[in-house]
Chains A and B, each alone.
Chain A
C-alpha cells in the first residue's frame, strides 16, 4: 500500500482530461479571451483548467 496507488487512478483521469482539453483547444477557433492563455490554463491547472475551458472557454 503506497501513495502511488492512491495517485494512479487520479493521475490517469487527469491526463485524459488534459489531453482531451488540448484536442478540443486545437479544434476551437474562437475562444473567450486570448487563445494561447487557454492552452496554458488547460495544461497547467490540473482538473479545474480543462473543466473551465469546456464550460466557458469556447464560444459557440
Chain B
C-alpha cells in the first residue's frame, strides 16, 4: 500500500510537470526521424542539395529491418541522454532539497521508496518508448516493407531491457550522490565506459549487455532469436536486479549515516 502511494504520487507529478506529454512526443520524434528522412532523401537532396545539373546519386535501397534498427540506435544515443537527464534528479534532487527527510520521517521502508520511484520512472519511459517504436514500425511498414508483428514485439521487448538497465544505473548513482548533475555525468560516463569495454573485449564478453542491439539486428534479419540473445538478456536482467538491491543498501547506509 505504501509502495502504491509513492508510485501514484510520482505519476501525479508526471502529469503536473507535463512529462506525460513531452517525453512521448520527443521519443516519437526520435523514432520517426530516420525512417522519414531515409525514405525522402532523394526529394530532400533534390530540393536543398544544390547539386550540379545532371548529377546522379545512387542511394542504396534500405531494408525495412535496417530502418527500424536506425530508430533503435537513436534511442541508444540521444534517447539514453534524455532518459538519464529526466532520471538524474529523481532521488538526488529530493535529498538536496530535503523532501526526502519529509518522506522518510514517516515509517517508509527504504526499499519501497526506491523501488516505487524506479517503477514509476520505468512506466513513463517504457510507455513512451513503446508508443514511439510503434509509430516507427507504422512508418517503416508504409514507406518500406512490412515487418512481422512477432519480430517487432521481440525487438521491442529485448531492447526495453537496455533502457531498464540505463534507468537502474541512474537510480543507483542517485542513491550514492546528492547532486543531480554529477549523477547524470557519472551515469552517462558509466554507459560510455561499458561501450568501450564492450568494443575492446567483445570477443570474450559475448553476453555483455551492450551487445543487445547487435543481436536484435540478427533477430530481425533471420527472424529467429539467437541463443546469445537469451544469455545477454539473462546477464542484463541479473545486472538490473543486482543494481536495484545495491541501491537499497547504499541508500539505507547513506540515510542512516
Contact = CB atoms under 8 A, between A and B. Distances in A.
Interface of chain B, main secondary structure:
helix
Interface string A1-32: 11101100110011011001101100000000
A13 B25 contact: yes
A40 B97 CA distance: 29
B111 interface: no
Interface in B11-39: 17-19, 21-22, 25-26, 28-29, 32-33, 36-37, 39
Nearest to B97: A60
Interface residues of A, number: 23
B32 A17 contact: no
Contacts of A17: 22, 25-26, 29
A10 B18 contact: no
Interface string B85-107: 11001000100010000000000
Contacts of A5: 40
A20 B21 contact: yes
Which one of B26, B32, B82 has the greatest number of beta carbons of chain A within 10 Å? B26
Interface string B63-96: 0000000000000000000100110010001000
Interface string B43-71: 11001000000000000000000000000
Contacts of B18: 20, 23-24, 54
Contacts of B37: 6
Interface string A21-60: 1011000000000000000000000010011001110101
Given A24-B18, A51-B82, A55-B86, A10 B25 contact: no
A1 B93 contact: no
B95 to A, nearest CB: 12
Given A1-B43, A9-B36, A51 B89 contact: no
Contacts of B19: 54
A17 B36 CA distance: 19
B85 A10 contact: no
B9 to A, nearest CB: 14
Nearest to B139: A9
Given A6-B36, A9-B36, A47-B26, 16 more contacts: A1-B43, A5-B40, A6-B39, A9-B32, A10-B29, A17-B22, A20-B22, A23-B18, A24-B17, A51-B82, A54-B17, A54-B19, A55-B82, A55-B86, A58-B17, A60-B93
B89 A47 contact: no
Q: Which 7 A-B pairs have the closest CB atoms?
A: A6-B40, A55-B85, A20-B21, A24-B18, A6-B36, A54-B22, A13-B29
